[in-house]
Amino acid sequence: MNIAFKSFFQEWVFFTFNAKLKFAIKVSLSLTLAYMIPMAMGWAQPNTAAITVMLIASAGGVSESLSKGIIRVIGTVIGATMGIALIALFPQDRLLYLLTLSLLVSVITYLYYAYQGDSTVFMLSAMVMMMIYLSGPQNAFIYGIDRTYMTIFGIVVYTFVGIFLWPIKNTNENLNDEPKGVRFIWLDPEYLKSTLQLFIVFWFSVAFWIYLNPPGGFLIVILATMLGLLTTFSPLKPSILIVLFTLGFIFATLMYILVLPNLVYAWELALFLFFYTFIAFHLLNPKLTIFFLLGLFVLGIENTMSYNFDVFLMTLLVFYIFLVILMFFHNFPFSAKPEHLFYLLKDRFFKHSTALIELEKQEEKTWIMLKKVDYHKQHLHISLQKLKLWGGKIDTNYFNQISKEQINQFVTECEEYVAKKNSLQNCYNTSDKINWHSLKVNKF
């Protein structure tokens, strides 16, 4: 028995390590090509293509297909078209432009959360639409074309590397673990709260930019809003983010001082980019990698390097400014504490369960009733997934009368109820053993 278990464990470790190793190599190669090819061709903004690769790898799955790449390209073109159109409509009215932009970004943000497939298409659309404003109204069209072109180039590079190097078949994965066939989950409270929270982050960043005029300007608004997509109602704690950023920037500073000045040939720079990215994606979780890898983009890598430590430190300051903004809004205006969310999800789980039981008692099966059944089933499923996520993040050391065993037992009973292996009463029985009041009051 021990030999069989040891063999199984070794095979599992090898498969996991091997899969992560392959993914890290694919992303590192993609990012290196996205940087080196534009630099070799003399194209503008090669870092845009590299950032696109980083965002897709951090937010998307490991499987790639040509159809995914085409959809991302279409989304990018739509975002660029909307961005240029906004500049054309409001060339002299900054407030009206920003208001319209914030509303469009909010709609795209909600679609990003609600969509249960590869939602990076929405992220790219919002990113390109906002980035076009960086150049100002005078050069918006040319700048927008360059940004769009380089974003598309990054998508193409990442897609083709994923297809031809250790391809992984697309199994129609749902990134949010939703039932097969479900494309959008509408009216989910966390998705609505996340959208509103990012809308507030956008305007707080805009006010910070306009009244304090920090280095980077509107770039701070873009970074705070776009990376807020990955952190809002996420298990990532601000303390983890600040540690990752600091480690990433310390590493970047060492590279800036000790390594980059000694690189002469293109192949040396290519190896540097490859191993920099490989270290990040192989050692860290992809969701965390983006916050470490951002250090790469403060180096200002160009064909003709200009080393200025003042500019380097100013760039670091820009990144820390938007990080502080994200930290401030992590629990405001809505709490993202696991215990508070777990309490809310418990009520939501029982609400949808009870509604389904009542609907199943009705003999007449009308179209409206069937739609209600589908709605409650979808939200029951997503409530269960979130219960599992946030229940595992609760630190029971802060609570005298709550244990991990009680939380795990409750989640297990709920999971078995959804699988129709027990009754809802079992969930209520295990729920009664948990001191929910302690979880409820620990909101902030």
Question: How many CA within 13 A on the CB side of residue 36?
Answer: 16
Q: Which of 57-71, 114-128, 137-151, 313-327 has the lowest mean pLDDT?
A: 57-71
| Residues 81 and 172 occupy one common structural domain | yes
First-to-last CA distance in the chain?
48
Find the mean pLDDT for residues 329-343. Answer: 85
Q: Are 406 and 433 in contact (CB under 8 A)?
A: yes
Between 184 and 363, the more confident residue is: 184
Question: What was the pLDDT predicted at 257?
Answer: 87
For the residues 37-46, what does the mean pLDDT come to?
A: 86
- For the ranges 153-162, 212-221, 276-285, 302-311, which has the lowest average pLDDT? 302-311
pLDDT at 17: 53
Are 176 and 251 found together in one domain? yes
The pLDDT value recorded for residue 101 is 94
Q: Express as a percent the part of the chain with pLDDT over 90.
A: 23
Contact present, 317 and 249 (Cβ < 8 Å): no
151 and 69 together in one domain = yes
Q: 275 with 419, same domain?
A: no
- Cα(3)–Cα(1) distance, rounded to whole angstroms? 5
**298 half-sphere exposure, CB direction, 13 A CA radius:** 30
Domain count for the chain, please give it. Answer: 2
pLDDT of residue 123 exceeding 70, the answer is yes
Residue 319: per-residue pLDDT: 78
50 shares a domain with 180: yes
Question: Average of pLDDT values for 233-253?
Answer: 80
In a domain, 9, yes or no: no
380-428 pLDDT per residue, tens: 999 999 999 888 888 877 777 788 888 989 999 999 999 888 888 989 9
Residue 238 has pLDDT above 70, yes or no: no
pLDDT tens digits, one per residue of 344-378? 999 999 999 999 988 888 877 788 888 888 999 99
Task: Name the least confident of 38-42, 48-52, 306-310, 353-357.
Answer: 306-310
Per-residue confidence (pLDDT) for residue 9, from 0 to 100: 46
Instruction: Specify whether the CB–CB gap between 440 and 347 falls below 8 A.
Output: no
Is residue 292 assigned to a domain?
yes
Confidence class for position 169, pLDDT limits 50, 70, 90: low
Is residue 208 one of the residues assigned to a domain?
A: yes
* pLDDT beyond 80 at 25: yes
Task: Looking at the structure, tell me whether residues 184 and 256 fall in a common domain.
Answer: yes
Q: Please check whether residue 333 lies inside any domain of the structure.
A: no
pLDDT at residue 173, as a whole number = 42
> How far, in Å, CA of 87 to CA of 68, rounded?
29
Provide mean pLDDT across the span 293-300: 80
Assess if residue 371 is contained within a domain. Answer: yes
The answer to the question of residue 32 being in a domain is yes
Average pLDDT value for residue range 37-62: 82
Q: Domain residues for 359?
A: 340-441
Out of 328, 350, 378, pick the residue that ends a domain: 328
Same domain, 53 and 166: yes
pLDDT band at 30 (very low <50, low <70, confident <90, very high): very high
Confidence of residue 176 (pLDDT cuts 50, 70, 90): very low
Query: Would residue 8 count as lying in a domain?
Result: no
Picking from 304, 328, 352, the residue at the C-terminal end of a domain is: 328
Residue 11 forms part of a structural domain = no
Residues 288 and 351 in one domain: no
Q: Of 38-52, 137-151, 336-350, 399-413, give the lowest mean pLDDT range.
A: 137-151
What pLDDT was estimated at residue 64? 62
- Confidence check: pLDDT of 170 > 60: no
pLDDT of res. 1: 45
* Residue 106 confidence (pLDDT) above 90: yes
Burial 25-62 (b: 16+ CB within 10 A, else e): bbbbbbbbbbbbebbeeeeebbbbbbbbbbbbbbbbbb
Question: Do 295 and 347 share a domain, yes or no?
Answer: no
Of 294, 328, 362, the one marking the end of a domain is 328
Q: Is the peptide bond before 167 cis (omega within 30 degrees of 0)?
A: no
Asked if 299 and 255 touch (Cβ cutoff 8 Å), the reply is yes
pLDDT value at position 178?
Answer: 44
Clarify whether residues 282 and 365 are in a common domain.
Answer: no
- Report the C-alpha gap between 8 and 10 in whole angstroms: 5
Q: How far apart are CA 412 and CA 103, in angstroms?
A: 40
pLDDT band at residue 96 under the 50/70/90 scheme = very high
Task: Say what the pTM is.
Answer: 0.83
Looking at the fold, whether 147 and 259 belong to one and the same domain comes out as yes
Q: Which of 398, 435, 381, 400 is nearest to 185 (CA)?
A: 381
> Can you tell me the mean pLDDT for 146-158?
88
Higher pLDDT: 8 or 243? It is 243
Distance between CA atoms of residues 119 and 230, nearest Å:
12
- Check residue 386 and give its pLDDT: 92
Segment 249-265, tens digit of pLDDT: 888 889 888 898 888 88
Q: Check whether residue 210 and residue 139 sit in a common domain.
A: yes
